[in-house]
């Protein structure tokens, strides 16, 4: 995996180097050091252990924008050292790639990759929607790649081929390595100034180290009607079949339907709402269903931004550290970011989430969290940040509960190079 990362970075760097004559290349190397404190190192329900963790390493950002291309790469390597539990010493890596390119007059390409390797028992810092945890500090990684090739056959008509690949692995023998890859194709078409519709078909394959996998088919349809340049309403429908290769798991089908409303009345205000319903039909255990909804509100003021969001729906948890299967969830969050001074910014957020695991006797876990941070630019090359977070998992099984306070102080030194 490390060789793959180096290879990707080398290819992208060479690509940027050879194309630099046609555009400006922005390079930003950096070094950083952080000191972390946690009062629950292994996210244990009782007998919590605390520790101090020092992380030191380099990073680099590359960015190139032309008339036909937008390309960005960010890579960071962190060497971790634990004050007490030094058997957890390790290295962390993060890699992010975004590449949009117009290949021909009517042919477009989009590729993205997000990779991280960490010894932390939770992926929450990297992907807040993934709440699964491990009870060790053995390294794990996730690599998510997605790509899309679009052909424009009309002014508002596109034919898409798309592919995604999601891999999770861990050095912890108690955690199952897993993989999901999903090819598919879609059609988007708009007519007149108000109408847009889309069709999509995706096939997915799930694979595991020690157990049989599963396959799914998911066709979907969407329609959008624009009331005016700032307001639209929509209709969405999707159907999914899940075929497990193991007789210990029940195959199922889901139908999902929703209506949506989106509005951006001003440049500083936007909000959206949706309301729907899903029905799952399982081979042996019957049906379950629920209302679904989403809401989002974003308001930007002169010196601060406010966001509120909520959602209720379902997802398949098949590629993470716990693999709880079909899950019904609700989530609410609020955040605020502000300019506290000429060189100071701050942020605070809170969330609540509940997850009901339909394939595990309808067990339910509740998650709560709060975080805040402040960042100070000492000069154009040096910045210092301090962040705090508090997280709770309230589970029906007491062995899976935890509470954690964490504090991180980070110093970052960077230098921008333009060519």
Task: For residue range 65-122, list pLDDT tens digits in order.
Answer: 888 889 999 999 999 999 999 999 999 999 999 999 999 999 999 999 999 999 999 9
pLDDT in tens, 213-260: 999 999 999 999 999 999 999 999 999 999 999 888 899 999 999 999
Question: Where exactly are the structural domains of the chain?
Answer: 2-418
- Does the pTM surpass 0.85? The reply is yes
Provide, rounded to the nearest whole percent, the portion of the chain with pLDDT above 70: 95
Q: Is the pLDDT of residue 3 over 50?
A: no
Task: Tell me, letter by letter, the H, E, C secondary structure of the chain.
Answer: CHHHHHHHHHHHHHHHHHCHHHCCEEEEEEEEEEEEEECCCCCCCCCCCCEEEEEEEEEEEEEEECCCEEEEEEEEEEEEEECCCHHHCEEEEEEEEEEEEEEECCEEEEEEEEEEEECCCECCCCCCCCCCECCCCCCEEEEEEEEEEEEEEECCEEEEEEEEEEEEEECCCCCCCEEEEEEEEEEEEEECCCEEEEEEEEEEEEEECCCCCEEEEEEEEEEEEEEECCEEEEEEEEEEEEEECCCCCCCEEEEEEEEEEEEEEECCEEEEEEEEEEEEEECCCEEEEEEEEEEEEEEECCCEEEEEEEEEEEEEECCCCCCCEEEEEEEEEEEEEEEEECCEEEEEEEEEEEEEECCCCCEEEEEEEEEEEEEEEEECCEEEEEEEEEEEEEECCHHHCEEEEEEEEEEEEECCEEC
* Least trusted range by pLDDT, from 9-23, 121-135, 162-176, 329-343: 9-23
pLDDT of residue 2: 46
> Mean pLDDT across the stretch 279-283?
92
Q: Is the pLDDT of residue 42 over 70?
A: yes
pLDDT of residue 9: 53
pLDDT of residue 261: 98
CATH code of the region 2-418: 2.40.170
Provide, rounded to the nearest whole percent, the portion of the chain with pLDDT above 90: 85
> Mean pLDDT across the stretch 195-211?
96
> Mean pLDDT across the stretch 396-406?
95
Q: Is the pLDDT of residue 146 over 80?
A: yes
pLDDT in tens, 302-355: 999 999 999 999 999 999 999 999 999 999 999 999 999 999 999 999 999 999
What is the pLDDT of the chain when averaged over all its residues?
A: 93
Q: Is the pLDDT of residue 16 over 80?
A: no
* Least trusted range by pLDDT, from 2-6, 268-272, 290-294: 2-6
pLDDT of residue 135: 92
* Least trusted range by pLDDT, from 20-29, 132-141, 171-180, 395-404: 20-29
């Amino acid at each position: 995996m490390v060789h793959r990362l180096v290879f990707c970075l080398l290819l992208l760097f060479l690509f940027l180097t050879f194309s630099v004559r046609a555009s400006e290349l922005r390079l930003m190397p950096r070094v950083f050091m952080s000191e972390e404190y946690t009062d629950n190192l292994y996210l244990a329900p009782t007998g919590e252990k605390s520790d101090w963790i020092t992380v030191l390493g380099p990073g680099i950002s590359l960015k190139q924008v032309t008339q036909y291309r937008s390309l960005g790469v960010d890579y960071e390597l962190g060497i971790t050292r634990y004050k007490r539990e030094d058997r957890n010493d390790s290295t962390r890596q993060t890699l992010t790639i975004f590449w949009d390119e117009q290949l021909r007059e009517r042919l477009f390409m989009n590729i993205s990759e997000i990779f991280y390797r960490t010894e932390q028992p939770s992926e929450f810092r990297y992907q807040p929607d993934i709440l699964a945890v491990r009870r060790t500090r053995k390294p794990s990684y996730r690599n998510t790649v997605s790509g899309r090739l679009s052909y424009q056959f009309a002014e508002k008509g596109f034919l898409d081929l798309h592919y995604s690949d999601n891999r999770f692995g861990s050095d912890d023998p108690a955690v199952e390595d897993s993989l999901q890859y999903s090819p598919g194709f879609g059609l988007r078409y708009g007519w007149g100034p108000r109408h847009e519709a889309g069709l999509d078909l995706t096939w997915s394959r799930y694979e595991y180290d020690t157990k049989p996998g599963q396959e799914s088919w998911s066709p979907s349809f969407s329609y959008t009607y624009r009331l005016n340049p700032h307001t639209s309403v929509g209709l969405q429908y999707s159907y999914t079949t899940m075929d497990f290769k193991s007789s210990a798991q029940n195959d199922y089908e889901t139908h999902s339907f929703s209506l949506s409303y989106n509005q951006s009345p001003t440049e500083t205000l936007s909000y959206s709402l949706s309301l729907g319903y899903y029905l799952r039909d399982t081979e042996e255990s019957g049906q379950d269903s629920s209302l679904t909804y989403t809401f989002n509100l974003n308001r930007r003021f002169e010196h601060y931004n406010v966001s509120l969001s909520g959602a209720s729906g379902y997802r398949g948890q098949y590629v993470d550290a716990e693999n709880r299967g079909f899950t019904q969830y609700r989530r609410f969050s609020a955040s605020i970011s502000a300019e506290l001074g000429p060189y100071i910014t701050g942020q605070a957020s809170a969330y609540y989430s509940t997850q009901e695991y339909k394939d595990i006797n309808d067990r339910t876990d509740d998650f709560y969290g709060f975080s805040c941070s402040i960042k100070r630019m000492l000069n154009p090359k040096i910045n210092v940040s301090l962040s705090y977070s508090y997280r709770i998992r309230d589970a029906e099984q007491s062995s899976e509960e935890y509470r954690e306070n964490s504090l991180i102080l980070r110093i970052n030194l960077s230098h921008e190079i333009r060519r």
